[in-house]
Amino acid sequence: MSPAMPRISWARGLQSLHRATSTTSRRTASGSALAARHISTTPAPSSSKNTEWVRSKLWKDGEAPGAADPYTQRPDDVPADSAVTRLPSAAALQGAAPTDRRPLGVRHSRLPFPAGRNEAATPKEVGATDPAYEPATTLEELADGGTTLSEWWEQPGHWSELDQFTAFACPVKVTDKAAIEVYYRRALVEVLALQETGALGEWATRKWAEGSRDDLDAALAVEIVAQDGTAVLKGDVAAVASSLQQTPDATTEGTRPERVSSEEAAEMVQAWGRSWKSIAVNDQMKFALRKRIYQLTGNMVPDAKLGAATTVGHLVVLTAKQPKVQRLAEILQKSEKLKQLANVKLHDRRVSSIDKEVAVGRWKLIEAELIKRDLPVTGLAGLSRNREQERLLGRI
């Protein structure tokens, strides 16, 4: 070992730490002096010369505008005693209109929205303005703040008649096939009447007046003559078209007209024959017929099936679906005699053993014990039924 080497192994690390600390302190001192020199507002001569040289290169035509040193000199058009600031003046702030930060839809809405939230004054502030003020000590003494936010829309006047929901389709679906054919006949006459008067393109996407029973009879009175897939109307076509273009009255829009009975519809369909169902329809006619039938009967033809239809008969088949046959449980549940029996209970499916255990409240205990023993709760958990037979045959 050399005599110059320190006996303690980490002494060299301390010496390095001392050198690093002294070097850092010298750098910090020099950095502080450099920062102080940069903060100084007195420009150095070399800095001024460099600035003039850069200004002369950037602005070659004439004298460069502005002060030579924008940090220490003021522009020529600003007085020396004025304070240059970008903040708005007090007069400008007082005259400025308050900005409305509500959403655009709320600002342009016709509904009266609740007022903004305000903070209540403290008892000291109220006592300063009202000497007779006494703070409440019980809940009954508190003043009523008026309508709460949850009850705001239930108050009269906060909803207008224009905001009431009015359904476009018929609320009760027409399921009788003969009645659906009657309304298809009416819709076809109306579409062809608008097509002959040249108003179908304008009124195809508008809401048509549903009309009364008299309007239905007037449309069905028009005769349809089918010739090679095309149709010709014979009758008062202009009256039918004008009845559709009327603006529905607000008092009669919510009331539905008299419906056609099944017996009456069957007689009409038998008298018309089948020739009118072979009339070809284009895309505009299909859209108008589908919209009108949805309004009159509540049946909507899907878009995927509407594209394959080419005649009126195809649309009738897609719309007139036979209702599902009611199950026996549904028929018995409507019986009032069975509901009055105390010892009879109806179920819409087979009652299993689990349903019986659930009814008496034992199923939770049984399920917990099965899980504790690592047994399947329901079913066989992927095991075959003849487990012992497969074991005897050596398959497992």
**pLDDT score of 186:** 92
**pLDDT score of 111:** 80
Residue holding tokens 């290169």?
Answer: 57
* Residue 114 scores a pLDDT above 80: no
The mean pLDDT value for 142-156 works out to 73
**pLDDT score of 32:** 43
**pLDDT score of 41:** 47
| 193, burial (CB in 10 Å: exposed 0-12, middle 13-18, buried 19+) | buried
248-293: pLDDT as tens digits: 654 455 566 778 888 999 999 999 988 899 999 999 999 999 999 9
Query: In angstroms, how far apart are the furthest CA atoms of the chain?
Result: 131
Return the higher-pLDDT residue of 316 and 67: 316
Query: Would you kindly state where each structural domain of the chain is located, as residue ranges?
Result: 177-248+258-320, 324-379
How much is the pTM? 0.50
350-389: pLDDT as tens digits: 999 999 999 999 999 999 999 998 888 887 777 677 777 8
Average pLDDT, the chain: 77
Of 59-73, 163-177, 193-207, give the lowest mean pLDDT range: 59-73
Return the higher-pLDDT residue of 294 and 38: 294
238-252: pLDDT as tens digits: 888 888 877 665 445
14-26: pLDDT as tens digits: 454 445 444 444 4
User: Residue 296 and residue 184: Cα distance in Å, rounded?
Assistant: 9
> Closest Cα to residue 296, out of 220, 384, 200?
220
| 244, burial (CB in 10 Å: exposed 0-12, middle 13-18, buried 19+) | buried
